[in-house]
Amino acid sequence: MTNIILPELGEGITKATIACWHVNPGDPVAAGQEICEAVTDKASFVIESPATGKLKDICVKDGQEGVVGGVLGIIE
C-alpha cells in the first residue's frame, strides 16, 4: 500500500484544504495521474498519484483540511 501525502508547499505553509478529489475509492489510478487538488492561501495545487493501483481510501475528504506531510488517501 502507498500513502498519498500532502507535499511540502513551501516554508510557512503547514496545512491545506482539499478542494476536490477527481477519483473515488475503488477507482483505478496510475502513477502521476492528477487525483486531487489542495488549496491554500488563494493557490490551488494539483496532487498526483504516487503509485499505480486502486484508490483504497480517502482520509481527507472534500472541504476538509490536511496537514503537510499527512496522509490524504491510500492506494493499494
Binding site for another protein (CB under 8 A): 8-13, 17, 19-20, 34, 37, 39-46, 48
Least distance in angstroms from the C-beta of 44 to another protein = 4
C-alpha cell belonging to residue 3: 500513502
Query: Which CB atom, from 67 or from 76, has the smaller least distance to another protein?
Result: 67
Least distance in angstroms from the C-beta of 67 to another protein = 15
- CB atoms near residue 25 (< 10 Å): 12
Query: Which CB atom, from 13 or from 74, has the smaller least distance to another protein?
Result: 13
